[in-house]
Amino acid sequence: MNVLVWSALIVLMVPLQAVLLPYVKIAGVVPDIALVAACLAGVLGGELHGLLAGLTLGWVMSLFSAIDPLVAMGVKGAVGYAAGFAGRHVVYFSWPMLMLGIFFFSCSAGLATASSLTLNGQQDLWWTLRTVVLPQGVLDALVGGALYWVAWSRFNVERWMAEYRA
Amino acid sequence: MRMVNFRAPYNTGRLVILLAVVLLVGFLLLPAQLQGLFQRAGSPVGWVVSWPLRAVAGVSDGIADLWAGYVALRTVEAENRELRKELEYLKGQNSQLREAAAATDRLAALLDFKQQIGVATIAAQVIGRDTGNWYRTIILNKGEADGLRPDMGVVTPAGVVGRIVKTTRATSVVLLVTDPNNAIAGLVQRTRDEGIVEGTSNGSARLKYIPMLSDARPGDRVVTSGLVGGFPKGVAIGTITAIHKEDGGLFLSAELVPEVDGEHVEEVLVIQSPAVPSEGERLGTPKVKSKS
């Protein structure tokens, strides 16, 4: 994908995450669309696309959050790269499998973020898991699965990925 | 169907990996400097992103208004079919007028408060929420170009909203008073006992470090002490609902219900200069006794 399309997608993702998604908050948690996008970019485009998408999205999203930009960039970049690596080594892709993968990556990213934050006495590991990491993992998996299912039913994703792996 | 080749050229790949390694080493060796660099570099990007952000916020408000009006009109239709058209019109107009009246009330209260508070303030609108799940923040439609800076206090006529933690050229991020990472100097209005107000993980706030012999009790109001931070003295923070004493602890702590619901606030004032008067200024110039 060319740089312009990527830039437009990234710029549009910020209002989606900051303005529209808070309306669909479930248990006080919204899906992290940037993380899902980094995962999908990695799976469909490879490690480099995943890494670049993760780094860029992490940085841009951190401008509109109190989170440390380095933490956001590092975590999302790593997720994008790992998703790309995983995508290249999986023989057959289905949307339930992708959902499971996104759930795993989202939970790993959540735990990595939690360990890098200076959590105060009220926010221990159990609180983090219960209130943010697991609910966000489920929501991210649902959103990622839905996006992949739409792409799978509308476009020839399998052929696309086969060409990438060749 | 034309297939798109997503593979990056070999040289590009090496370049990206090299960039990632340089970034990683940079993160490890110079974290503070790199953070500042990215923050400064992000300012113009934030300005660009703020345009679609504001546009989507505007469209979102419009759709929300339209949806509310539609639901109201459906109810009217069910109640009386014959007067449907007239009721539709009146209901729609009423809804618009109510919204306009509510906005006028809010803005008038904001203006009154701006004059009462006696410090330089900038009015701003809330256009979004935190892009992650780790912090309770709101995004304002004004930034560095309007004179906003990190650590400035944010209030409404009802009380304290939070503190600015990040700015871009056209937007600011405000950490709400209910976030556990926020700390504001406060005092119990009746007993004058000082402490630190911080958010709690369940979305309320608490006043810590109240002296053990304090007479503070549920119902007491907590206001800003004006000692540190970007707030003048006396701005409401919340009302005490319970007092706790930990075993072996040296201080009391109090649970608070914040005066402002940060999740639903729409317009705010950013305090540019708290202009805290010194003790001398507060007490006035001592009068010299005349010799008679």
Min Cα distance A90 → chain B (Å) is 17
Is the Cβ pair A1, B7 closer than 8 Å? Answer: no
Q: Are B220 and B239 within 8 A, CB to CB?
A: yes
pLDDT tier at B202 (50, 70, 90 boundaries)? confident
Average pLDDT rounded to a whole number, residues B20-26: 83
Is the Cβ pair A160, B139 closer than 8 Å? Answer: no
- Residue B166, C-beta contacts closer than 8 angstroms, at least 6 positions apart: A63, A65, A66, B39, B150, B172, B173
Is the Cβ pair A15, B53 closer than 8 Å? Answer: yes
Is the Cβ pair B129, A22 closer than 8 Å? Answer: yes
Give contacts of B130 with chain A, Cβ < 8 Å.
18, 64-66
- Percent of chain B residues topping a pLDDT of 70: 82
Question: Rounded to 5 degrees, what are φ and ψ at B188?
Answer: -75, 120
pLDDT tens for each residue of B234-290? 889 999 999 988 777 788 999 999 999 888 888 999 998 765 554 455 455 555 555
DSSP 8-state secondary structure symbol assigned to residue A20: I
3-state SS class at B231 = coil
Give contacts of A66 with chain B, Cβ < 8 Å.
130, 134-135, 137, 165-166, 173, 175, 179, 181
Residue of A nearest to B200 (CA): A122
DSSP class per residue in B98-109: HHHHHHHHHHHH
pLDDT tier at B153 (50, 70, 90 boundaries)? very high
- Of residues B111 and A42, the one with the higher pLDDT is A42
Is the Cβ pair B135, A122 closer than 8 Å? Answer: no
pLDDT tens for each residue of A89-111? 876 777 788 899 999 999 999 99
Is the Cβ pair A74, B48 closer than 8 Å? Answer: no
Which among B263, B39, B267 is positioned nearest to B129, based on CA atoms? B263
C-alpha to C-alpha distance for B50 and B47, rounded to whole angstroms: 5
C-alpha to C-alpha distance for B163 and B181, rounded to whole angstroms: 11
Query: In this complex, which of A52, A63, A136 lies closest to B133 when CB atoms are compared?
Result: A136
Any chain B CB within 8 A of the CB of A15? yes
Pairing label, strands B159-167, B172-176: antiparallel
Note the pLDDT of residue B36: 82
Any chain B CB within 8 A of the CB of A97? no
Note the pLDDT of residue B77: 64
Any chain B CB within 8 A of the CB of A8? no
Tell me the CA end-to-end span of chain B in Å, nearest whole number.
106
Token pair of B152, please?
A: 């400035």
pLDDT tier at B43 (50, 70, 90 boundaries)? confident
Give contacts of B127 with chain A, Cβ < 8 Å.
18-19
pLDDT tier at B292 (50, 70, 90 boundaries)? very low
Min Cα distance B84 → chain A (Å) is 31
pTM for the structure as a whole: 0.74
The listed range with the strongest mean pLDDT (A68-77, A109-118, B72-81, B116-125) is A68-77
Note the pLDDT of residue B167: 93
Note the pLDDT of residue A124: 78
Which among B252, B166, B255 is positioned nearest to B205, based on CA atoms? B255
DSSP 8-state secondary structure symbol assigned to residue B228: S
Within 13 Å and on the Cβ side, how many CA atoms surround A116? 19
3-state SS class at A166 = coil
